[in-house]
Chain A
Amino acid sequence: MGATISRLGERPNLWPWLLLAPLTAYLAIFFLVPLADVAVMSFTEPRLSLANYQKIVTGTLYQRVFLNTFLTAGLVTLVCLCVGYPLAYLMNNSKPRTAMLILLLVTMSFWTSFLVRTYAWMVLLGNNGPIVALLSALGLTNPPQLLFTRFSSTLAMVHILAPYMIMNIYSVMRKIDPVLIRSAESLGARGFSLFRHVYLPLTAPGIANGCVLVFVLCLGFYVTPVLLGSPREQMIAGLIGHQIEEFLAFGMGSAMAMVLLAITLAILAVYHRRFGLDKLWG
């Protein structure tokens, strides 16, 4: 690589390609080919036809699962925003020590395996768990079933995805010049009006980043809905896994995977044109 530096002037065009070649070849063989496999299988399994896609469009099961996935992803994104925004605000407006501690906590949560966090929610929401105990202590004689419902999987996904939202909003908030807020105040902006007309527009890029990232990640979420959710209310990824593992229905699974991929890429492409994809992951 040292040679890169000295030869830059002589042969500017060959070196980058040589350096890029191994990774490009690797991704082409071990990423693009498997992806193409999915595309091919969606049309050819069990025989060459559009039948798999037809089923997705017309079958009520598939329609319900897709609708359910979108609603869940939307709900999770909304709750993440409602949870993440105040926390980012708290971090940005407290003493450095407190801010650092919260940052530490969010980082911890982010790096803790989501299987661990999913398991923790099973303990918290289980029939012998603290929340049910609290509810019955409060006088609820017949505590509701919390685990294996839409509620439990949504809550756990919010917990798992919230750090993405928080970090995105916080990184934008941190850069806001306090002078802007003070000058708005000196011009008479107060309370909600200050928030609505000054703070919210300034943090909008962080909100957009966080929402897109959380929504897209949630669309393809497999583990948590499968472990914590209701079996009757599957999400797309869960149904894909089900088709492959239980029925060996590769064509159907692949077709659904392609639709999921197309939706994800469409959202990211819109985002890319507007903001640039490299910004999404900080």
Chain B
Amino acid sequence: MRLVGIAVVIFIAAPLVIVVPMSFSDARSLQFPPPGYWLGYYQAYFTDVSWLRPTWNSIIIAAATTVLTMALVVPACFALVRHRFKGKSIADLMMLMPLAVPHIVIAVGYYSFLGDLRLVHTHLGVVLAHTCLSVPIAFLVLSANLKGFDRNLERAAQSLGASPVQTFLHVTLPILRPGLVISALFAFIQSFDETVVAIFISGRDAETLPRKMFDSIRQEADPVIAVISTLLFVAVLLAVIAPFAWRGIRSRFARTALPAPSPAGR
């Protein structure tokens, strides 16, 4: 089992690492190992509007999606975790529903639905669609956090004379902050990485980065993709290592905990 395990480690690591040298390659087409090295494609990426605009679109859309998702999910989470009522199990299922539907299916739906509303090829259209896909992920993270919340802390605050609003602002919110941040981050990444729906509805005006990458890989395999891949890889590396490093600093006895896997990409 051990040898197989090590082989699997290489299998998983190789594709992640290979994009880094590729991004410094001076070859016009896919060639590995690269015949020579330069920074030309980095310069190309940072000066080419046809790459920068999709990047910017993706950031704006992901940010708006995150805000909308959190505004909808936070109250719903309180309702579903803290209250028992008729139809709760159906409501629970409803939150997870967008995870169960293959993206290609709902992409066809959005193509026609947003077309009727004249919202295809607009930022708003993509945000409205992405919010649905981000809801389950944000919900899963936040409800797990809320379930672990010790409500005695709120009762203690109220027995000491805090009003419900004060309790919420000074007790509930600060304790939930890490959960809120992680859940918002998941919503952001879900939207930033989402490809299939974006391919169908974002068009030229609201073109997102994954859509641009998809088109580029399909048509010409522009070497700039290696640059973007490296940048995205480094961003993930920093984001994944940061909590580990932080925990390592906070306590020497770092536990191996991991954010719950969520099917962010398809």
Whether B26 sits at the interface, judged by CB under 8 Å, is no
The answer on a CB contact under 8 Å between B11 and A83 is: yes
The answer on a CB contact under 8 Å between B164 and A5 is: yes
Look across to chain B and name the residue whose beta carbon is closest to the beta carbon of A96. B256
Whether A57 sits at the interface, judged by CB under 8 Å, is no
Whether A33 sits at the interface, judged by CB under 8 Å, is yes
Chain A residues with CB below 8 A from B114, complex form: 34
The answer on a CB contact under 8 Å between A120 and B18 is: yes
- Min CB distance B148 to A, Å, is 15
The answer on a CB contact under 8 Å between B237 and A126 is: no
- Min CB distance A260 to B, Å, is 6
> Complex formed: what's the CA distance from A104 to B31 in Å?
28
Main secondary structure of the interface of A (DSSP, over half): helix
Whether B258 sits at the interface, judged by CB under 8 Å, is yes
Number of interface residues of B (CB under 8 A): 110
Q: Name B13's contact: one of A105, A220, A277 (CB within 8 Å).
A: A105
The answer on a CB contact under 8 Å between A86 and B8 is: yes
The answer on a CB contact under 8 Å between B131 and A86 is: no
Look across to chain B and name the residue whose beta carbon is closest to the beta carbon of A243. B108
Chain B residues with CB below 8 A from A247, complex form: none
- Min CB distance B167 to A, Å, is 5
- List, sorted by A's number, 16 A–B pairs whose CB atoms are closer than 8 Å: A3-B164, A4-B83, A16-B80, A20-B75, A26-B72, A35-B101, A107-B240, A112-B233, A113-B210, A117-B16, A164-B261, A222-B104, A237-B102, A241-B199, A260-B102, A261-B102
Instruction: Give residues in B with beta carbon < 8 Å to A.
Output: 1-2, 4-6, 8-9, 11-16, 18-19, 22, 27, 29-33, 71-76, 78-80, 82-83, 85, 88, 91-106, 108-114, 128-129, 131-132, 135-136, 140, 151, 154, 158, 163-169, 172, 189, 193, 195-196, 199-200, 210, 213-214, 217-218, 221, 225-226, 228-229, 232-233, 236-237, 239-241, 244, 254, 256, 258, 260-266
Extra 9 A-B pairs, beta carbons < 8 Å, given A5-B168, A35-B105, A264-B102: A1-B78, A19-B75, A22-B76, A31-B132, A112-B236, A116-B232, A120-B14, A123-B32, A244-B111
